[in-house]
Amino acid sequence: MPYPFEADSEQAQAHREVTSTHHEAKLSHEFLAGAASFEAFKALEDHKAKEGKPVSHAMAKELLVGFAGAFIDRQVESRGMDLYEAEKAKRHAHSQIEEGMQYHPDCQF
């Protein structure tokens, strides 16, 4: 089984599908959360590469949750999704991020 947020993980597959479909509102909050959490880990890696220095555990978690929330907000706005589903997706993404931080090598502090 791949570690969370690797290129062949469930989250990565969800991310590819969400970002390649055109404004279809029919997405489950779990599916959107998987895509958002993958996007967040990808954005954290980009941020760390750009800054060239390590990020504290607390800062990493803050950044990940922010990146995931921004991704979900963009998808909700562009797809006309309901805000209740968006909030469920954000909570689910937060859970996936906390779980993923246990396995992701950049989050081992």
Within 10 angstroms of residue 28's Cβ, the number of other Cβ atoms is: 13
pLDDT of residue 67: 86
pLDDT of residue 1: 40
For the chain, the domains span 10-107
Q: What is the pLDDT along the chain (109 residues), one digit of tens a residue?
A: 445 566 777 777 777 777 776 655 556 777 777 788 888 888 888 888 888 877 777 888 888 888 888 888 888 888 777 888 888 888 888 888 888 887 765 555 4
